[in-house]
Amino acid sequence: MAAKPAPASEGAAPPRHVAIIMDGNGRWAKKRLLPRIAGHKQGVEAVRRISRAARKLGIEVLTLYAFSSENWRRPEEEVRDLMGLLRHFLASELDELVSEGVKLRIIGAWRKLSPDLVAMIDGAVARTANNPGPTLVIALNYGAQAELAEAARVLAEKAKAGEIDPAAIDEALFQDALDTGDLPPLDLLIRTSGEQRLSNFLLWQAAYAEFLFVDTLWPDFDEKALTEALDQYGRRQRRFGGL
């Protein structure tokens, strides 16, 4: 069962779990009169940069919103390019993740992706499964509403089979049925590019997370920006409904 967060009376303790909605690749490219794929390529560079920075700054879990279940509505060519960049990222970064002791996790309906990509992800996750270090979580074909519906379905099936008492289903049991059930509670959720919405990302997990919306476009987000975000988080008081 995932641990519950504890209130902090004087500011916030350092975040264990940080999630980022990586937004602004297209606008970054448009500002430079470049094709959207150029923005996505720079976005991948930002993933590398922030993944390394998070490890340096002691973040235990970094969750990145890479591809939502709604992103299939984008032009077919752009979706194909994004999947190609994902393949490239896995191939080029896996050795470093292994050597750095990083555990790779994928959440979402990623098994609905193409079979070759699913096999590639399976191999990457397996290679890092026993790593002792921080966890990099990538949300692929992810939608929080679908995650909640799936958790409800799983618990309903268990109740129907007599494995659990329906009366025993509470917040903790429901949380354990989520993709992130064994991870630390979400402390800080950052969205880049100036947009201020969750876009169907970690709706349950964000219940008591601190939100930070920054104007920086994702390809320009760097260690300095992440450090500033952590500094802002550290000045907040998290009471979780208490005084």
Catalytic residue among 23, 141, 179, 187: 23
CA 162 to chain centre: 33
The pLDDT, as a whole number, for residue 6 is 45
Domain range list for the chain: 17-234
71 part of the active site: yes
pLDDT at 226: 98
Q: What is the pLDDT along the chain (243 residues), one digit of tens a residue?
A: 555 554 444 566 889 999 999 999 999 999 999 999 999 999 999 999 999 999 999 999 999 999 999 999 999 999 999 999 999 999 999 999 999 999 999 999 999 999 999 999 999 999 999 999 899 999 999 999 999 999 999 999 999 999 999 999 999 999 999 999 999 999 999 999 999 999 999 999 999 999 999 999 999 999 999 999 999 999 988 877 766
Residue 8: per-residue pLDDT = 43
Q: Does domain 17-234 correspond to CATH entry 3.40.1180.10?
A: yes
In sequence order, the β-bridge partners of residue 138 are: 64, 106
DSSP 106: E
Q: Within a 10 A sphere around the Cβ of 22, how many other Cβ atoms?
A: 22
Is 236 annotated in a binding site? The answer is no
- For residues 211 and 151, give the distance between their C-alpha atoms in angstroms, rounded to a whole number: 24
Could you identify the residue written with the tokens 């921080």?
134
**Tens digit of pLDDT for each residue in 129-138?**
999 989 999 9
Tell me if residue 23 is catalytic. Answer: yes
User: pTM surpassing 0.85?
Assistant: yes
Q: Is 198 annotated as a binding residue?
A: yes
Q: Is 81 annotated as a binding residue?
A: no
40 is in an annotated binding site: yes
Residue of 71, 131, 176, 200 with catalytic role: 71
